[in-house]
Structure 1
Amino acid sequence: MAGWHIEGQYMETCNCEFICPCIGTNLTGQPTEGDCKAAIAMRVDRGEKDGVSLDGVAFIVLMHSPGPMADGNIKVGLVIDEKASGAQTDAIAQIASGAEGGPMEALAPLVGEFAGIEKQAITFETDGLNRAVKAGDLIDQALSGVPSVSKEGEPVYLENTCHPVSSKLALANATHSRFHAFGIDWDDASGNRNGHFSPFSWDG
């Protein structure tokens, strides 16, 4: 297995009410809506696989779990920035699926259906404790981090989590989430749903 590395920024929102039960139960908790719909957005600032630079490539893993994630049968679709070359698209697909090792490999046995890949223009914006990601008409999500009262300018963190992106996650409220891809649909702007963000660093 060839080595690879990617690092950058991550954010996600899901349809669970704040705070999502997955993190506190190591994926065994019942989603607050009965099922889970989540969009995990990643912006690679620096990365490489098999000699292919992945600098600047963004991608989103869109997931639907019919119950607790630990029970499996998760449907997954992948959205990759339309600017990615064929070689970059192949590399990201292998990394995001766990086929080339890394953090997503542990989740692969829980996936019951891979719904395919879409190419879209992806924007990934950061502003203090705020994050926003848009992928054409398929995904539009934004969040606002929960500010710490003990350290100005920092969010409240959860640490030592089982989350595949990072063991340390910032808590956030989703300001809006719109998912319409791979048969996964969700539209909410209540401000009461869950979100997370953090830097990430993956190796395989």
Structure 2
Amino acid sequence: MTMEVGTVPWTIKGELILNCNCTVFCPCVVSLGDHPPTEGYCQAWSGIRIDEGQYGDIDLSGLNVGLMLEIPGKMARGNWKAAAYIDDRASDEAFEALVHIFSGAAKGTTGLFKMLVSEFLGAERAPVAFDTEGKTRRLTVGKIIQGAVTPIEGKDPDQDVVATNTNYWMGPDITVAKADKGKVRAFGRVWDFDGRSAEICQIDWKGPGR
């Protein structure tokens, strides 16, 4: 019997990177969306590397996902626009499962998308590459997203600068980074966020409960 969407147990463990148009580190991490982005609005791309993942009996391990996000003001006020790019190596079942998760329909950690995203621009298959070279993480989604982020250097260059024990929805420990490259060409948007705020986060998401 097929389980209803929103009742299927799922998990994703891996790493997330994000680059937005904020000129300094994203205020949303510590204000939880109560403080507006530095430019008054948010435009962002994100990449997710799934090291281990399940949606019911469907294996999601080894797949990557790219996201495009547009938020008109404070994160917590909603009215987001979002699009998802699903690894073209995904099976039809895995593609459908990842759409459920990243649209918020599967509830759980990403369930807030269902509440905050007013316009889901869609999900499509694309070649999504998430690579790590030294401390730099690179995301390539076809010709749509070309991104690279590197942690900023702290007093001890061997230790990342990390905001720990936060209540941020993505995860409690957010590594402060900066974009070496952040180019997006999608849905009529042409963005270039080179040198802008970026984040790196180890994720351990699940659903349908929190």
TM-score with structure 2 length normalisation?
0.89
Q: Aligned to 1:67, which of 73, 84, 88?
A: 73
| 1:175 pairs with 2:164 | no
Equivalent residues of 1:63, 1:75 under 8 A apart? yes
Q: Please give the secondary structure, in 1, of the residue aligned with 2:100.
A: helix
Alpha-carbon offset, residue 146 of structure 1? 1.7
CA distance in 2, matches of 1:85, 1:22: 34
CA distance in 2, matches of 1:203, 1:23: 20
Q: Please give the secondary structure, in 2, of the residue aligned with 1:17.
A: coil
Deviation by residue 1:13-71 (Cα, 9 ceiling, x = unmatched)? 11111212222321122222222111121011111112111111100221100111112
Alpha-carbon offset, residue 175 of structure 1? 1.3
Equivalent residues of 2:30, 2:168 under 8 A apart? no
Alpha-carbon offset, residue 118 of structure 1? 2.0
The one-letter code sitting in structure 1 at the alignment partner of 2:203 is: F
Deviates more, 1:59-68 or 1:16-25: 16-25
| 1:197 pairs with 2:200 | yes
Alpha-carbon offset, residue 198 of structure 1? 2.2
Q: Identity percentage over the alignment?
A: 32
In the alignment, which residue of structure 2 is the partner of 1:91? Answer: 97
Q: Please give the secondary structure, in 2, of the residue aligned with 1:140.
A: strand
The gaps in structure 2 that reach 5 residues or longer are 1-6
The one-letter code sitting in structure 2 at the alignment partner of 1:22 is: C
In the alignment, which residue of structure 1 is the partner of 2:171? Answer: 166
Q: 1:129 to 1:84 in 2, by over 3 A?
A: same
Question: Alpha carbon RMSD of aligned pairs, Å?
Answer: 1.5
| 1:58 pairs with 2:64 | yes
In the alignment, which residue of structure 2 is the partner of 1:26? Answer: 32
| 1:155 pairs with 2:160 | yes
CA distance in 1, matches of 2:52, 2:35: 34
The gaps in structure 1 that reach 5 residues or longer are none
Q: Aligned to 2:88, which of 82, 88, 101?
A: 82
Between Structure 1 and Structure 2, how many residues are aligned?
A: 201
Equivalent residues of 1:37, 1:184 under 8 A apart? no
Q: Aligned to 1:132, which of 138, 142, 146?
A: 138
CA distance in 2, matches of 1:184, 1:160: 34
Q: Aligned to 1:117, which of 119, 123, 130?
A: 123
Deviation by residue 1:94-130 (Cα, 9 ceiling, x = unmatched)? 1112211221113421111000012111111112321
Deviating beyond 6 angstroms after TM superposition, the runs of 4 or more aligned structure 1 residues are none
CA distance in 2, matches of 1:75, 1:161: 25
TM-score with structure 1 length normalisation?
0.92
Alpha-carbon offset, residue 82 of structure 1? 1.1
Q: Please give the secondary structure, in 1, of the residue aligned with 2:22.
A: strand
